[in-house]
Amino acid sequence: MQSKKNPKADLRKNSSLYFAIGLCTVMFIAWQSIEWKTYDKSMYGYEALDVEDNDDELVPLTEQIKTPPPPPPPPAPEIIEVVEDEEEVEETVIESTETTQEEIIEEVEVMEEELDVDVPFAIIEDVPLFPGCERVKKSERRKCFQEKIQRHIAKNFRYPEIAQEMGIQGRVYVQFIISKDGSITGIRTRGPDKNLEKEANRIISKLPQMTPGKQRGRPVRVPFSIPITFRLQ
């Protein structure tokens, strides 16, 4: 008679599984034993920190800043009473200055003032007339005046003896004015020596009375300048 076995009671059926579980457990315990570390407590020292209670703490002194009192409020503006003026003001009536056709406008003659100005000889309308140039044409009177001046200088020329002895020579520039009445005024000289200037002044002062020059039909002052040459021979 054969004995019947329960298939669930067969232990060899799961033997490989149990073996694997047991092997893993042994390997885990072996790994933990290898990795386990111990520490020496003497390596770590703990010191107690003694903190003293210092009751005398330094408290900073605070200075109380006194704020100035606010400025007083501005005084209230004075009340200005408006007093009504009961007096009546007279209105000024401005009359019109416009003239009507019936009014007659009076003609006012404007007198031109004679201006005391100097008109140069080169631009004056009517040149001064040297005696002897009255009958010359107006277009040639300027040339006649200059020729008469040169003749007058040559006629009255005298070389100063002191200038001859000292060997002084040169050119003296003379300027003078033919005034409104035809007389010679304002003689000025400029040259290398006072003796030559004195002689040039004497020559020009001997010019005759002339007919004054005119600008716009009125006599004017005419300045004129001319050089006088002093040359030793």
**How large is the average pLDDT for residues 23-43?**
74
Which pLDDT score, from 0 to 100, does residue 18 have? 79
Question: What pLDDT does 230 receive?
Answer: 94
**Alpha-helix residue ranges (DSSP H) falling in 103-188:** 141-156, 161-165
Instruction: Count structural domains, the chain.
Output: 1
CA–CA separation, 144 vs 227, rounded Å?
A: 17
Residue 165, domain member (yes or no): yes
For residue 209, being part of any structural domain is answered with yes
Spatial contact of 199 and 158, defined as CB atoms under 8 Å apart: yes
The pTM for the full model equals 0.51
Q: State how far the Cα of 153 lies from the Cα of 224, in Å rounded to an integer.
A: 14
Residue 81 located in a structural domain = no
Question: Which domain does 213 fall in, by range?
Answer: 138-230
pLDDT computed for residue 16 by the predictor: 80
Residue 191 lies in a domain: yes
Q: Which of 35-39, 53-57, 124-128 has the lowest mean pLDDT?
A: 53-57
What is the CATH number for 219?
3.30.1150
pLDDT tens digits, one per residue of 141-164 = 999 999 999 999 999 999 999 999
What is the pLDDT confidence band of residue 49, given thresholds at 50, 70 and 90? Answer: very low
CA angle 160, 163, 169 (to 5 degrees): 105
